[in-house]
Structure 1
Amino acid sequence: MLRSYLPALVFIALGAGVGSLFAGLNRLFGYRNKRKPTTYRDDPYECGLPSEIQQGFRFGISFYLIAMLFILFDIEVVFLYPVAVQLKEFGTFALVELSVFIALLLVAFVYVWRRGALEWR
């Protein structure tokens, strides 16, 4: 039984080893140990341009709501692919279940749309 877990244990050990090695090398050779940190060096690099977003800047709730809805509907649509690939093997039952799933997705989308969650404010 241990032999079936051996590849996973080796993979975990290698991952932990490589991660620890890189963290140790960073601590040993990192620039913060050799140079004095300044506010200019601590600023995030934004494609060569100075960042215009202040630390107190907050995104609106509509941004997060649309992002969550996109992730929700995107992940649900991803579940359609495996069933669509094997639809001939699954038969009529899978087609009916797939139709119910799509109908529920459509109802949820219409509900979200009618509530105004997709309008950018």
Structure 2
Amino acid sequence: MAVEFVGMVPLILLLVAAVWECVLIGYAFSLVGNAADEAARAGAVKGDGACKAAAGKYIGDAWGMGVGCDGGGDVYKATVTVQIPVLFPGLDFGEIKGEAGAAMEKEAK
């Protein structure tokens, strides 16, 4: 029984690591989607500075976030990218991109 346990431990640890990686990737998709939505809303009302600040409000530095804001036309568009982590944020192997748009608004004064 001890031999079977020793043989199964690496497989169990590998399975746990694979599930954890899937959770991190899912969480990264959730983060970029929310950050892009918030950035587009803020940018549609207050401009590019607010767009970048709103995107950074919900994502930590370890995710390697990049923000693109475009206010041309009737729709304000925001693009947020984060690095795909390998087991923890900071050790990366690719990136995930989230895009959102919001109707342009003018702030009432």
Class of the TM-score when normalised by the shorter of the 2 chains: 0.3 to 0.5
Greater fraction of residues in helix: 1
TM-score (normalizing by structure 2): 0.37
TM-score (normalizing by structure 1): 0.34
Greater fraction of residues in strand: 2
